[in-house]
């Protein structure tokens, strides 16, 4: 579990004073979910991959594009921030309309932002400052068009400040996954299974392939079963014919033996009669 910095090391508060219970917090700002179709598709692909990866963990929450609300160290409500994707461990996996850090007790641990020329300053400056202050352990930025950023960028929190991560591919200690760039796509690689996490399209293709294979296996098994039934029937018919032939042979043998026995008796009778006449 990633270390949560003490409140004294933060610029913002995880607990703080509770705001009024009737406080109204917007759930949307009316802006589109993503900058472009590519940004949207990539966001959905990463969310799907992470949700599937943590499916069996009831205490790991994966979401994206929802408002995260937080308080400053004096308990004053601050404007919401909306990460494209974030993961936090130690909180229940359930549906949320917003994420209030003071209620959850934990800030996001990993944030991924899909940046663009219009969000570059916000992602590199404003959110960089906010996420570090909240104690977000790892922060990754990726521009699929490579207009605002020409490579994958990553930061890890050390001593309350972000330290850049080096390399074309970056490893997330929190997720246990490697972030890789393939063409315009950001992919997640599991070093334990040595496989990329599947996108929705890949998962659907794998599902269809599995169904097709299962259908083919079922058809093959049915054909083999039918062949087995046919072979059983043929063998039974062969056995019946053999039994009938054997019975016929026994009958013929018995009849022949009876005839031979009768013939022998008659010969003996004829011989006896001849002896009597002489």
Specify if 82 maps to a domain. Answer: yes
Give 69's strand partners: 100
Residues 161 and 213 in one domain: no
Residues 145 and 216 in one domain: no
Give the whole-angstrom CA distance, residue 148 versus residue 116.
5
Q: What CATH number did the domain enclosing 125 receive?
A: 3.90.1570.10
Residue with tokens 């029937």: 233
Using CB atoms within 10 A of its CB, is residue 134 exposed (0-12), middle (13-18) or buried (19+)?
Answer: buried
Global model pTM greater than 0.85: no
Give the residue numbers spanning the domain of 250: 199-278
Query: What's the chain's length in residues?
Result: 278
Cβ atoms within 10 Å, residue 20:
7
Spell out the residues 6+ positions from residue 7 whose beta carbon is closer than 8 angstroms to its own. 13, 14, 15, 73
Residues 151 and 95 in one domain: yes
Q: Which of 112-116, 131-135, 167-171, 227-231 has the lowest mean pLDDT?
A: 227-231
CA 149, 169, 45, 27 torsion: positive or negative?
negative
State the average pLDDT over residues 152-156: 97
Task: Give residue-wise pLDDT tens across range 6-52.
Answer: 333 356 766 555 666 667 888 876 666 667 899 999 999 999 999 99
Residues 185 and 205 in one domain: no
Counted domains in the chain: 2
For every residue of 75-135, DSSP letters joined together read S-B---B--SEEEEESS-----SSEEHHHHS---SEEEEE--TTTHHIIIIIHHHHHHHHT
Residue 87 tokens read as 């993961």
Task: Give residue-wise pLDDT tens across range 95-130.
Answer: 999 999 999 999 999 999 999 999 999 999 999 999
Specify if 187 maps to a domain. Answer: yes
Per DSSP, the three-state class of 90 is: coil
Specify if 2 maps to a domain. Answer: no
Specify if 1 maps to a domain. Answer: no
Specify if 179 maps to a domain. Answer: yes
Residues 213 and 136 in one domain: no
Residues 123 and 257 in one domain: no
């Amino acid at each position: 579990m990633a270390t949560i910095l003490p409140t004294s090391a933060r610029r913002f508060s995880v607990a703080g004073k509770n705001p009024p219970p009737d406080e109204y917090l917007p759930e949307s700002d009316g802006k589109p979910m993503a900058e472009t179709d590519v940004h949207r598709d990539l966001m959905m692909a990463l969310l799907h991959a992470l949700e599937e990866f943590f499916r069996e963990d009831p205490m790991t929450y994966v979401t994206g594009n929802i408002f995260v609300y937080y308080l400053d160290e004096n308990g004053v409500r601050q404007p919401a921030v909306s990460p494209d994707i974030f993961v936090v461990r130690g909180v229940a996996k359930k549906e949320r309309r917003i994420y209030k850090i003071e209620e959850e007790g934990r800030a996001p641990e990993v944030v991924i932002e899909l940046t663009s020329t219009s969000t570059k300053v916000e992602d590199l400056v404003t959110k960089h400052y906010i996420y570090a202050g909240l104690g977000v352990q790892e922060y990754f930025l990726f521009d699929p068009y490579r207009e605002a950023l020409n490579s994958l960028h990553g930061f890890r929190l050390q001593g309350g400040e972000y330290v850049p991560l080096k390399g074309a591919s970056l490893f997330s200690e929190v997720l246990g996954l490697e972030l890789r760039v393939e063409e315009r796509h950001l992919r997640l690689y599991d070093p334990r299974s040595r496989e990329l996490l599947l996108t929705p399209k890949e998962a659907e293709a794998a599902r269809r392939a599995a169904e097709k294979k299962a259908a083919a296996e079922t058809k093959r098994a049915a054909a083999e079963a039918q062949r087995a039934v046919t072979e059983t029937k043929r063998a039974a018919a062969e056995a019946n014919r053999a039994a009938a032939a054997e019975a016929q042979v026994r009958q013929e043998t018995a009849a022949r033996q009876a005839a031979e026995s009768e013939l022998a008796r008659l010969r003996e009778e004829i011989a006896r009669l001849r002896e009597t006449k002489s």
